Amino acid sequence: MQRTQIAGLILIGVVLVIGIVVKHTVKTNNDVIFAAISDYTEKGLWELPRKSKYFTYTYSEGSKLKAYAETSGWPGELERGFGKEYLDNALQYANRISDKSYSEIRINKELRENAINIYFFNSDRSTPFDDYKDNCAYLGFKNIVICDINLIRNVSLVSYIENELESTLEGQHFSTILDNKPSFRKLVLLRHLGPAHNVMLWVIGHEIGHIASGHKTGHFAEANGFSKIMQFPEETADLEIEADQFAFKSFGNTETRAAFFWAIHEMTTHEINKQLLAKGKKLDVNLKDFNDPILLKVISKTHPPMLKRLLAFGVAINRNSSFNADYLEKINENTRLER
């Protein structure tokens, strides 16, 4: 045997061994996370996205909004009202586009192989799920989605809403004013609670979209080339848009979809305000005449920064609709990512 042939054989051997080791490691990681999930379920350590004290009030006895809250649901409520309706839509839609048949969407419950299993953990405690801190991700196996409740709280702007409500209230009692002033109730509902709820459902619907569209965790890997809309690795960006479209379509009829689009719009404004505030600039920007460049630092490996996601989503929805928000295109182009 010649030396080159021997070298060739050794090389093939090495490649095979590396292949086996890599495959084994991937399997082991899934096993470890799966064991941690089972353990968490057994000990009852999962939590639900935290509700604002203002949202919680609406469920209490004596509140005139109780009946409304029971039927419509509020941010943080996934098992009744609007939250339940959304998850039912998402399940139906998932079964329509996928060749699998999903039985139900389970939240924080014992895992079932043919269900979509969503788990919420609290990253304020020490958990085995540090890799998913400030994230919401499909794990790529057994239809498991794992979410940090702090991400949900941040993206649905709960703290921002509380601050804004507090300044509007100027010391008056929230419960009294909410019960007695229909105009204030409307303001709270339309301007704040509706968007907060919608954005939370978007994040969850997006992950269900990854499952229903048959994506793998492999899509999280970085690749060369950037998508024009998302400016994130091209293959990943296509999958992200597919998952977002799924989340959008799960909003059912045109009215709820429009409400959702304007929620995204409101969030985008808020995120840009946050960016400007960091640079010490003025607040409360009007998106229509906003021209400043924005540079965002990429931190997460799995998803682009929130503002980029909001813009990419807003642009994609606006292109197929009559929302007249073409100015989002320009803002999106001016918003670049930095690694």
* Helix residue spans in 44-173 (DSSP H): 53-57, 66-72, 81-97, 149-155, 158-169
Nearer Cβ to Zn ion (240/266): 240
Least distance in angstroms from the C-beta of 143 to Zn ion: 15
Least distance in angstroms from the C-beta of 215 to Zn ion: 8
136 φ, ψ (degrees, to nearest 5): -140, 120
Least distance in angstroms from the C-beta of 303 to Zn ion: 5
Contact 164, 138 (CB under 8 A): no
Nearer Cβ to Zn ion (149/243): 243
Stretch that binds Zn ion, among 84-92, 158-166, 232-240, 256-264 (CB under 5 A): 232-240
Stretch that binds Zn ion, among 17-25, 157-165, 236-244, 309-317 (CB under 5 A): 236-244
Kindly report each contact of residues 325-330 with a partner whose C-beta sits within 8 Å and lies 24 or more positions away, as own/partner: 325/261, 325/265, 325/287, 327/287, 327/288, 327/290, 328/268, 328/287, 330/291
Least distance in angstroms from the C-beta of 223 to Zn ion: 15
Nearer Cβ to Zn ion (148/240): 240
Q: Map the footprint of Zn ion across residues 16-45, applying CB under 5 A.
A: none
User: 148: closest CA among 46, 263, 220, 250?
Assistant: 46
Please report, for residues 34, 240, 269, 289, 335, the alpha-carbon distance to residue 328 in angstroms, rounded to integers and kept in the order given: 41, 18, 11, 10, 10
Nearer Cβ to Zn ion (240/271): 240
Nearer Cβ to Zn ion (239/294): 239
Q: How many residues bind Zn ion (CB under 5 A)?
A: 2
Site string for Zn ion, 237-276 (x = CB under 5 A): ---x--x---------------------------------
User: 122: closest CA among 99, 93, 97, 148?
Assistant: 148
Least distance in angstroms from the C-beta of 148 to Zn ion: 14
Rounded-to-integer distance, Cα 124 and Cα 192, Å: 25
Least distance in angstroms from the C-beta of 163 to Zn ion: 29
SS3 of 171-184: CCCHHHHHHHCHHH
Nearer Cβ to Zn ion (188/239): 239
Residues that bind Zn ion (CB under 5 A): 240, 243
